[in-house]
Structure 1
Amino acid sequence: MSETTTETPLHLQQAEGLEALAALIRNRPEIAETVRLALAYLNSMVPSRVEDGRGAMEDLVAAADATGIVYVISNDRDSCRVTLDFGPAVCLSVRASAERMAGQPAPPKVPAYEPLTKPGGAS
C-alpha cells in the first residue's frame, strides 16, 4: 500500500482510491468474485492516532445520516460498532473499544460507557 502524502488531503486520497477501485471493477467484471469478500466485510478499529474515539464514531453516524446511508449501531460491554451498508456487495464496519468510547486510554479493566444511539434516541 502506498503512503499518504501531505500534498493531497487524506479524504481526497481515499475518495480517489475508491473511485479507481470502482473503475477497475466496472471495467474488469471478471475480478468481482475475487474481491467480493474484501468489499463485503471492510472492517476497522478507530485508529489510535484519532484522539476522540467516541467523537469519531459520532462523526461516522452523522455522515451516514447526512447522506442517507443505512447503518446499524451495535453496543456491547467491550465496544461499539457502526456498520454502514452501501448495498448488497459493500459493507463497512468500524469499531471503537469501550475505553475509546469512554474517552480513556486502554486500561486493564473495561469501563462502562454510554451506548451510542442514532440521533433522536433510536438504536
Structure 2
Amino acid sequence: MVVGGAALGAAALVGAKRIFFDGTFNEGKQAEMLKQLKEQQREIETKERASKLGDSDKTKFIVSLKEPVRLNLISPKDAQDLMRAVESGQMSIKEAIKMVQAVVESAKLQ
C-alpha cells in the first residue's frame, strides 16, 4: 500500500507539473473524469459494504486509468504500479480511486 501511495503521489506531482507547463487539460475533461471517478467510488463503496467486489470492478478501475494516462496526468508506469497494487490486493479499489481523484483535482485548469 505504501509503495502504491508513493508511486501515485509522485505521479500526481509529475502530472500536475505537466499540466501546468503543457496546458493540455481543460475544465470539461476534468469535470467529466471527476464525475466518472465519483460514480465509480460510490459503486465500489456499495459493493464493499455488501462484500460483493469482483474482478469486473478491478477491470473497470483499470479501464478508468486510460484517460488520465492519455492526458499525462499519470505516467504509464505509475498507472501500471497502481494496477498491480489493486490486482494484488495491496491497495483497495476505493483507495486507488481516491488517489486518482486527487491527481485529477490537483490538475491546473486551462
Give TM class, smaller chain: 0.3 to 0.5
TM-score (norm: length of structure 1): 0.30
- Greater RCO (CA < 8 Å, at least 6 residues apart): 2
More strand by share: 1
Whose radius of gyration is greater, 1 or 2? 1
